[in-house]
Structure 1
Amino acid sequence: MNKKYNLAVVGTNFIVPRFIDAAERSGYFHLHSIVSRKTQSGLCFRSANGYDSDVVIHENIADMLNDDKVDVVYLASPNAIHFPQAAACIKAGKHVIVEKPMTSNTRELLSLIALAKANNVLLMDAMKSLLCPNFSILVDNLSRVGRIRQCTSTYSKISSRYQGYLDGNNPNTFNRMLSNGSVMDLGVYCIHPFVHLFGSPEQVHAYADLLDSGVDAAGIVILKYPQFHVNITHSKTCATTNSSEIQGEDGTIVIDNISTLTSLKFVDKKGEETEISAPQDPNSIFYIAQHLGETISSGLKESAVNTHALSTKVLTVLDEVRRQTGVRFPADDR
């Protein structure tokens, strides 16, 4: 039987129940506490999701970090406060897993990595796609496409907060002060796996449509490699099928969704399709939670998959995309 670690979650947005479900089913974690800005909101969240009444509700992260029973913290707060919250967790001796993107910029991430090493705790990116079983199948079949000529990847989804923005509100998802926007929220899903597969690009070219709030509503990112390029499109103001392709001289691998990799197909030069994917857990976050538990129980302080180096390369690309498209966050000036 696996040792169970006491888990604290920071945030009560839609992704948090999915992470808690994955964490508890992995066999490595027990939900110990929830941090919500208002106690009543935390109590409602606990009740609505059927969590035990002994799960502690905290109104601030400092109170939670003073609890010696907490082993691991999952941060699902707005991007702009990932850095100060993760730093506080690390200084308190807690392992921490941070929702993507881990920080607002590369400078903040490098500071966290150094801090985690100094305090001998785990710091991990919560990006899930590389841990999905079908990603390993993708890697195993990559040679079948032959010489790669180009890749395409799309992640476009109309934000549930977009109408609120159009109505004159300033929801978090379109708030520059919170280090948000399309490439930070959705485009990163496309950038991360291709940087993992092919390394840092030799050139980055980016274009974006900006909202009056100062963040990108949609954009295009081109990652240029010596023999091919990766064309990425992302948007929070329109939706599409979100498929991705790795196209080679001998065939193409078609990915239904780069975030979950539910389906993979190999298409040969004659156009004949073969399904190469395997069944996966309906909650793909299960695999990142399982990996987190395995990493902690092994005594490691860095994921062997979502490495610090990979997270740094991805944020370096995001920094360059924002530089080219004119998206600047308050965190960039601190």
Structure 2
Amino acid sequence: MIRFGIIGTNFITKLMIESGNHLENFQVQAVYSRTEKRAAEFAQKFDVPEIFTSVDNLVESQQVDAIYVASPNSFHAQQAIKAMNNGKHVLCEKPFASNEREVASMIEAAKVNGVMLMEAVKSTLMPSFLSIQENLYKIGKVRRYVGNFCKYSSRYDAYREGTVLNAFNPEFSNGSLMDLGVYGVYPMVVLFGEPDKVQANGIALSSGVDGEGSLLLTYPHMEAVVMHSKISHSHSPSEIQGEEGVLVIPNISEPSDVFIQYNNGEIENLNVSHTYPSMYYEINEFIGLVEQGATQSTVNSHENSLITAQILQEAREQMGISYPADKI
């Protein structure tokens, strides 16, 4: 049984617990929130035995084996490193941290302490993504990858009315690229590795974060395009375009209903049934690796997370987006 301590009481932690409950070796032992009232309400709702209002006390608890970090992006590195220095395994929400330097520090802490560290990117561990990897050869030489995730944020309504919530606050290392663009970048890195060149453009909001943007990434024999937005919506799928056909991915954040449309018009369905909720597969991967004594995933690996962080940082710099965390 892997006993988790949860940092954060937002919607993603709710989904994490609901997904993890499908695993026999998953248990939520404790939850942290800044306020005792919020922690107690969350604990009662999800039957969590212990509550904490101190991260230090949580990561020092002998009743906790692993920490799930689902706090704002700017806190990820600090909290993850603190947990690992106390011998805890860490599953940390995407994006891993504010910048490349912080990600490198997290990876170093995992190595020094001999603990498991994994970025919680659910898409690359879902069955349909594995189907994409297994069938990619069928479309011939790949010439273009298109990762598209544009989703109008309900919090943008408040922004337009003059209220800057966390989602659009640079203090928390937020913005469209970090929150949504990563869904297009990370699978690209897993499939094709590190690009030779990154070009980025975007729309900066007055709060200091990006509202939307695009990346053009160059590989030796192909190019990749990543589009992201929190201020507009898109219904277009993501694609991997090859010389023999196109692999279509309707939802890059949760790959399903994937198919190939060949040049001759034939369609091959690659969809794999997802028996469990989307976050189940990343939690299953994490717990399995902890039980094996591993320190990283071969899919959501330290290298893939570091490359992704480098791309995100380079793109932000080109867009003129910086965070307080970059100046530390």
- Shorter chain as denominator, the TM-score bin is over 0.9
Indicate if the aligned counterparts of 1:153 and 1:242 stay in contact, CA closer than 8 A.
no
Structure 2 counterpart of 1:99: 93
1:51 to 46, 54, 57: 46
| 1:99-138 to 2 correspondences below 5 Å | 99-138=93-132
Structure-2 residue corresponding to 1:205: 199
Equivalent-residue separation in structure 2 for 1:293 and 1:151 (angstroms): 31
Structure 2 residue 215 is the aligned partner of structure 1 residue 215: no
Q: Tell me the CA shift for residue 147 of structure 1.
A: 1.7
Aligned to 1:295: 289
Question: Could you tell me how far 1:44 is from its partner in structure 2?
Answer: 2.1
AA of the residue aligned to 2:46: Y
- After TM superposition, the structure 1 = structure 2 runs for residues 147-158 of structure 1, keeping only pairs within 5 Å, are 147-158=141-152
Cα deviations across residues 127-158 of structure 1 (Å, max 9, x unaligned)?
Answer: 11111111111111111111222221210111
1:315 to 306, 309, 318: 309
Report if aligned partners of 1:246, 1:252 keep a CA contact under 8 Å in 2: yes
Aligned positions of 1:1-334 closer than 5 A: 4-47=1-44, 50-52=45-47, 55-281=49-275, 283-334=277-328
Equivalent position SS for 1:297: helix
Per-residue displacement from partner, 1:17-76 (whole Å, max 9, x unpaired)? 1111222212221111111111111222233xx422x52111121121231110000000
Alpha-carbon distance in structure 2 between the residues aligned to 1:283 and 1:76 = 18
Greater mean deviation of Cα atoms: 161-170 or 218-227: 161-170
- Structure 1 window deviating more from structure 2 (182-191 vs 299-308): it is 299-308
Matched position secondary structure for 1:260:
coil
Distance 1:87 1:106 in 2: 15
CA contact (8 A) 1:121 1:301 kept: yes
Q: Aligned AA for 2:4?
A: L
2:305 and 2:60 map into 1 onto residues whose CA distance is: 29
Could you tell me which amino acid in structure 1 is paired with residue 198 of structure 2? Answer: V
TM-score (norm: length of structure 1): 0.95
Q: Cα deviations across residues 173-207 of structure 1 (Å, max 9, x unaligned)?
A: 10111100000000001000111111111111100
> What's the offset of the Cα at 1:107?
0.7
C-alpha distance in 2 between matches for 1:76 and 1:256: 26
Counterpart code for 1:244? S
Deviations 1:272-312 (A, max 9, x none): 32211111135210000000110000011111221111110
Question: Aligned letter for 2:192?
Answer: F
Whether the 8 Å CA contact 1:8–1:31 is kept in 2: the answer is yes
User: What is the CA-CA distance between 1:164 and the residue it aligns to?
Assistant: 1.5
Q: Which runs of 4+ in 1 moved over 6 A?
A: none
Q: Which amino acid aligns with 1:51?
A: F
Answer yes or no: is the 8 Å Cα contact 2:142–2:240 preserved in 1: yes
Percent identity over the alignment is: 37
Q: Secondary structure at the match of 2:96?
A: coil
The separation in 1 between residues aligned to 2:135 and 2:241, in whole angstroms, is 12
1:117 and 1:276 map into 2 onto residues whose CA distance is: 37
CA distance in 2, matches of 1:127, 1:152: 18
Structure 1: distance between partners of 2:256 and 2:9 = 26
Runs of at least 5 residues in structure 1 that lack an aligned partner in the other structure:
none
Size of the alignment, in residue pairs?
328
SS of 1:25 mapped into structure 2: coil
Indicate if the aligned counterparts of 2:59 and 2:67 stay in contact, CA closer than 8 A. Answer: no
Q: Is the 8 A contact 1:156 1:242 kept in 2?
A: no
The answer to whether the Cα contact below 8 Å between 1:149 and 1:229 also exists between their aligned partners in 2 is yes
Aligned AA (1:165): Y
Equivalent-residue separation in structure 2 for 1:220 and 1:247 (angstroms): 18
Distance in 2 between residues matched to 1:161 and 1:280, nearest whole Å: 30
Contact 2:100/2:310 (CA < 8 Å) preserved in 1?
Answer: yes
Q: State the distance in 1 between where 2:187 and 2:236 align.
A: 15
Distance between the aligned counterparts of 1:270 and 1:285, measured in 2? Answer: 36
> Pairwise CA RMSD of aligned residues?
1.2
